Amino acid sequence: MVRLASAILLLTCAFLAAPPAMAQSAEDVLGQIEALHGDADGFSAAFDVLQQAMADGDAATVAKLGSYPLTVRANGEVYDVLEAQDLIDNFDSLIAPDTQTLVADQNLADLFVNSEGVMFGAGELWLSAVCDDNACNSARWRIIAINN
């Protein structure tokens, strides 16, 4: 009986950990972004800039994409990064090399989109359309969380 329960548990875990059966395309992802957030073209531009900045280790460009205060989880701690200069000054300790590589290499078709924003990897970084003012007449794609 214990072996059967163990086998069922193992199969359940394997099933839950398996990737989704239906693959999505980059067009599918951009369609989800447009439907939930609008401005898929703006997202594409921010995605390209962010990927290049992470590949280059360009702290200033990454910092320009932040929505402040920005929550960063790094080194087992949670930091509220108050402004772009704080991210620039502490870039190497706030954004792990693995996170930089993950974002730089992220495939557009593998992004996860929900009402909160767009998730890179397994949640290492989130981008969202952030309103420029209270009326939200315009918004820009910004980093809203980094989770190393």
Cis peptide bond upstream of 97, omega within 30: no
What pLDDT shows up at residue 9? 35
End-to-end CA distance of the chain: 41
> Over pLDDT 70: what percentage of the chain?
85
Report pLDDT for 23: 72
pLDDT at 120: 98
Instruction: Tell me what pLDDT residue 86 has.
Output: 98
Report the alpha-carbon distance of residue 53 to residue 70 in Å, rounded: 18
Of the candidates 112, 109, 117, the one whose C-alpha atom is nearest the C-alpha of residue 145 is 117
Tokens found for residue 93? 């300790």
* φ, ψ for residue 99, nearest 5 deg: -70, -40
Total-model pTM: 0.83
- pLDDT number for residue 63: 98
**What's residue 10's pLDDT?**
35
What integer pLDDT is reported at residue 107 of this predicted model?
A: 97
Distance CA 28, CA 113 (A): 10
- Encoded tokens for 63: 């910092």
| Blockwise average pLDDT, block size 10, the chain, 148 residues | 37 41 84 96 98 98 98 96 98 97 98 98 98 92 97
